[in-house]
Structure 1
Amino acid sequence: MDKKSKIYIAGHRGMVGAAIWRILSSKGYTNLIGKSSSELDLRNQNEVLSFFSNEKPDVVIDAAARVGGILANNNYPYQFLMDNLQIQNNLIDAALNNDVKKFIFLGSSCIYPKFAQQPLKEEYLLTDSLEPTNEWYAIAKITGVKACESIRKQFGKDYVSLMPTNLYGTHDNFDLKTSHVLPAMIRKFHEAKLNDHSPVELWGSGSPMREFLFVDDMAEAVVFALDNRLPEYLYNVGTGIDLTIRELAETIQNIVGHKGEIVWDSSKPDGTPRKLMDISKMHQLGWKHKVELKEGIEKTYNWFLENIDNFKEVKL
């Protein structure tokens, strides 16, 4: 990819988009463009079409989405379905109609069936039913994957979908109402530590197994997809290593320095029993993660501490 190519990063202020912007800038890409949600409402088709017509980007990286954990997915099913459909459909269609050379669509491991064989292979897509607690988000993302595949098939364009495992890192969302499990745990343990190491209550049994990828590694995978024309339409991106939620909690508790009790509320849902990605296709092409979980959590916690005064949601 020419370092002067005009690259539009949709969602450049989010955790993933910001990491992609940082990595691309560090590698000498000089023509990056981004718009905040107040500047460009990606749910508005006319606004998106006008933006593409004016800017004429060479590459689009779609890191824009309404995201959240089990609670947010359960409480706002319509928004998780419709907002994500509108965002990605507007971007994909505008890219096609404006002859965008390369489109990288970012999704999630939740696109795969709830009880699919582990580890999750790309070909398991649409072979069984989804996890009910996040099916609204998953259905939208599946639609995006298939839209990019259909453009690739019909028009021969280099549109590819990358499906990351659970992402975390700097610039994450630490709002307990909408955050994912790892940043939520960091905040809970930190607040409990400040509150005389009070008990920390966590959802579920702690038995489900999850895989986590540091966001800078995800950004490196996007750069890899930029620099190479990947031969297939869908690739998993992860570490290939998982652990139980209980083990995750104990790891975060140790890093944060919380000495109190962990209380598991088994009346709350666990979600999918296991979600481990088969990442052999990306490994065969030459990409592999660099940041291991403990190091990534330490970096994330340090960033949380450095920026805690900027979190409107965080009130200690």
Structure 2
Amino acid sequence: MNLLHGRIYVAGHRGLVGSAIVRYLASVGAHDVIVRTHDELDLSCQASVDNFFAFERPDYVFLAAAKVGGIHANSTYPAEFIRDNLAIQTNVVHSAWKHGVRKLLFLGSSCIYPRDCPQPIKEDYLLTGPLEPTNEPYAIAKIAGLRMCQAYRLEHGFNAIVAMPTNLYGPGDNYHPENAHVVPALIRRFHESKLSDSQEIAIWGNGTPMREFMYVDDLAKALVLLMERYSGMEIVNVGSGHEVSIAELASTIATVAGYAGKITFDSSKPNGTPRKLLDSGRMRSLLGPMDMTSLENGLMKTYADYLGNTAKRDVDAGNANTVDDGA
């Protein structure tokens, strides 16, 4: 299989993961990368998606389009999170199979694992316990998507693989202070608090939850390698192998952003899952050792991205329902 010489469709190319995949493909010499904005292609419309695949005939598909957000967004818009994600992934997977795509990579999420499963989290722990309530609709949609890929493989022989990334951050993120994930939301809050000379910032939860973070460009490289080397039924965790408490993360972001005020924690707000560290042994066995960007270096690059994209940031700030489907 020569991925770089095929026609490659990246669904969600303006989102955090999709934009990183496009960057990495360009850096390694991909010849024919297909992208569409939301205005050009509404992935929630089956007829539009089917017409797109019939006309473009991609060989490979990276399905990185999804409606995403943090605890606040998931709690506020549960119907949108389950509806939009089910529609997007159902339409893309079905049309990809129907129109002869050679291989599709579906992006899951580490939040699909049970809330209190053993750590580090192995792929086999899927569906062995209750989900985290604050993002259950999103998680259920993602579980349906990966099962759909496996079902199409079993029934139709469709070469669909599933990667399960850990918590991600990096250039191209959504910096909305309420609806973003924890890293970009904190970057914005610390930066704005520095500018306003605020003396104190209160963060949701008690600061003790442990999280694994991966710089998105590291993920993009791993996904392209998986597309080239892996064609199995089993899902594959993709993580950095390093975890940090929310309190430590906040302190590091404050330092990167130059905020010198006090950091407090609001224990009346939800913590989310207590600990979430992926066992990425299967990935390492498939891809070998991979150099990972350190958290501090990744945060500095992400903060630079935040500072360099004021116009985009202002648009995101006014958009409470962000869909990473190329919009």
Secondary structure of 1:82 counterpart = helix
Letter in 1 for 2:280: I
- The code of the aligned residue for 2:281 comes to S
C-alpha distance in 1, partners of 2:265/2:292?
32
- In structure 2, the partner of 1:292 is 294
Q: CA deviation at 1:254?
A: 1.1
SS of the aligned residue for 2:177 comes to coil
Greater Cα offset, 126-135 or 284-293: 284-293
Q: In structure 2, how many angstroms separate the alpha carbons of the residues matched to 1:35 and 1:13?
A: 9
Larger RCO: Structure 1 or Structure 2 (Cα < 8 Å, ≥ 6 residues apart)? Answer: 2
Contact 1:164 1:236 in 2 (8 A): yes
* Residues 16, 172 of structure 2: 8 Å contact kept: yes
Residue equivalent to 1:47? 48
- The TM-score normalised by the length of structure 2 is 0.94
**Displacement after TM superposition at 1:314 (Å):** 5.3
SS where residue 35 of structure 1 aligns?
coil
Are residues 1:92 and 2:93 paired? yes
2:168–2:216 CA contact under 8 A, matched in 1: yes
Change (3 A) 1:68 1:193: same
How far off its partner does 1:200 sit?
A: 1.1
Any conservation in 1 of the 2:3–2:60 contact (CA below 8 Å)?
A: no
Alignment of 1:203-214 (within 5 A): 203-214=204-215
AA at the equivalent of 2:215: F
1:88, 1:289 → 2: CA distance?
Answer: 31
Q: Does the CA-based 8 Å contact 2:161-2:232 persist in structure 1?
A: no
Greater shift in the superposed pair: 305-314 or 254-263: 305-314
Kindly state the Cα deviation for residue 249 of structure 1 after the two structures are TM-superposed. 0.4
Contact 1:64 1:87 in 2 (8 A): yes
2:182 is matched with 181
Whole-angstrom CA distance in 2 between matches of 1:82 and 1:131: 18
Distance 1:44 1:309, change over 3 A: closer
- Give the Å deviation of 1:231: 3.3
Give the Cα separation in 2 of the matches to 1:233 and 1:16: 21
Deviation at 1:107, TM superposition (A): 1.3
2:194 corresponds in structure 1 to 193
Separation (CA, whole Å) in 1 of partners of 2:84 and 2:158: 25
**CA distance in 2: counterparts of 1:60 and 1:314, whole angstroms:** 30
Q: Secondary structure at the match of 1:264?
A: strand
Task: Give the letter for the 1:257 counterpart.
Answer: G
Q: CA deviation at 1:99?
A: 1.4
> What pairs up with 1:250-265 in 2 under 5 angstroms?
250-265=251-266
**Alpha-carbon distance between aligned partners in 1 of 2:211 and 2:144, rounded to the nearest angstrom:** 24
Secondary structure, counterpart of 2:44 in structure 1: coil
SS in 2 for 1:104: strand
* One-letter amino acid of the counterpart of residue 305, structure 1: L
Q: How many Å separate the matches in 2 of 1:88 and 1:192? A: 38
Over the matched positions of the two proteins, sequence identity in percent amounts to 48
Distance 2:167 2:282 in 1: 18
Q: Which amino acid aligns with 1:65?
A: A
Structure 1 distance, partners of 2:291, 2:66, is: 23
Structure 2: tracts of 5 or more residues without a match? 319-327
Decide whether the 8 Å contact of 1:8 with 1:61 is kept in 2: yes
Kindly report structure 1 stretches of 4+ aligned residues shifted beyond 3 Å. Answer: none
Partner of 1:225: 226
Query: What TM-score comes out, normalization by structure 1 length?
Result: 0.97
Partner of 2:306: 304
Deviations 1:85-109 (A, max 9, x none): 0000000000111111100000110
Distance 1:110 1:3, change over 3 A: same
